[in-house]
């Protein structure tokens, strides 16, 4: 598939806390870093979202269930856990989107409560290529919102990883995206 000027890459939450060793690790989360790095140069518009919570965010639980909005403390704004993965090659023209920044609101989607749609519309973006962490939470919700907002949406499967908890959640999420009209691709299919 040929990538053009009207395409945007959206890298969701590729942050330390979502990688092995972090507060809320996604299995194999760090394995996608070289894959993401390899496709960044194909895109004129590159967006990195980050989970950017206040220290008392509503999703933080002392007994986290790792589902249903009950998580350990993670991605507190300005802390090392909220930093992007150190090997991620963020270009100077990248657009950084902070999300879930308010204590009383959860926001899994990069579009929720942010200016992302305005920014993409302003650039004439028609297709978005979504990847990152976690496939069954923030990646899924970003992709579904993208469809609702009228974008042609592709999930880059090998540049994403899921939590898959409870087991089966990843497969369910992929099915949900498919039904909603999200298309699936992989890094090797993309070229300039």
User: What is the binding site for ligand VGL (CB under 6 A)?
Assistant: 13, 18, 51, 59, 71, 133-134, 137-138
Does the active-site annotation cover 13? yes
Task: Give the start-end residues of each E strand in the chain.
Answer: 7-12, 45-51, 95-99, 127-133, 152-161, 183-185
CB of 53 to Zn ion, least distance (A): 6
40/77 with CB nearer Zn ion: 77
* Active-site residue (options: 19, 75, 131, 138): 138
Quote the CA–CA distance of 47 and 161 in Å, as a whole number: 18
CB of 30 to ligand VGL, least distance (A): 14
- The length of the chain in residues reads 192
Contact status, residue 47 vs residue 95, Cβ threshold 8 Å: yes
Contact status, residue 120 vs residue 145, Cβ threshold 8 Å: no
Out of 51, 88, 137, 160, point to the residue binding Zn ion (CB under 5 A). 51
19/190 with CB nearer Zn ion: 19
CB of 75 to Zn ion, least distance (A): 5
* Active-site residue (options: 17, 19, 30, 99): 99
User: Between the CA of residue 69 and those of 26, 87, 108, 184, what are the distances in Å?
Assistant: 16, 29, 10, 26
Q: Which does 109 bind (CB under 5 to 8 A by kind): ligand VGL, Zn ion, none?
A: none
Quote the CA–CA distance of 116 and 134 in Å, as a whole number: 19
* Of residues 166, 168, 169, 139, the one with CA closest to residue 154: 139
134/159 with CB nearer ligand VGL: 134
* Active-site residue (options: 13, 17, 30, 145): 13
71/154 with CB nearer ligand VGL: 71
Write out the residues near Zn ion by the rule CB under 5 A: 51
Q: Annotated active-site positions, please?
A: 13, 99, 138
């Amino acid at each position: 598939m040929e990538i053009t000027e009207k395409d945007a890459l959206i890298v969701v939450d590729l942050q330390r806390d979502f990688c092995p060793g972090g507060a809320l690790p996604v299995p194999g989360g760090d394995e996608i870093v070289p894959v993401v790095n390899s496709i960044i140069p194909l895109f004129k518009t590159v967006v990195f979202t980050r989970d950017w919570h206040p220290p008392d965010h509503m999703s933080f639980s002392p007994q986290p269930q790792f589902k249903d909005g009950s998580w350990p403390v993670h991605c507190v704004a300005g802390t090392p856990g909220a930093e992007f993965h150190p090997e991620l090659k963020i270009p100077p023209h990248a657009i950084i989107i902070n999300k879930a920044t308010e204590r009383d609101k959860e926001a899994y989607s990069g579009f929720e409560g942010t200016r992302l749609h305005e920014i993409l519309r302003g650039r004439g973006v028609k297709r978005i290529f979504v990847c990152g962490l976690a496939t069954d939470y923030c990646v899924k919700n970003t992709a579904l919102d993208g469809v609702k907002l009228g974008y042609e949406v592709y999930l880059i499967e090998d540049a994403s990883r899921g939590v898959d908890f409870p087991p089966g959640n990843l497969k369910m999420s992929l099915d949900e995206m498919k039904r909603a009209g999200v298309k699936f691709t992989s890094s090797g299919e993309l070229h300039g």
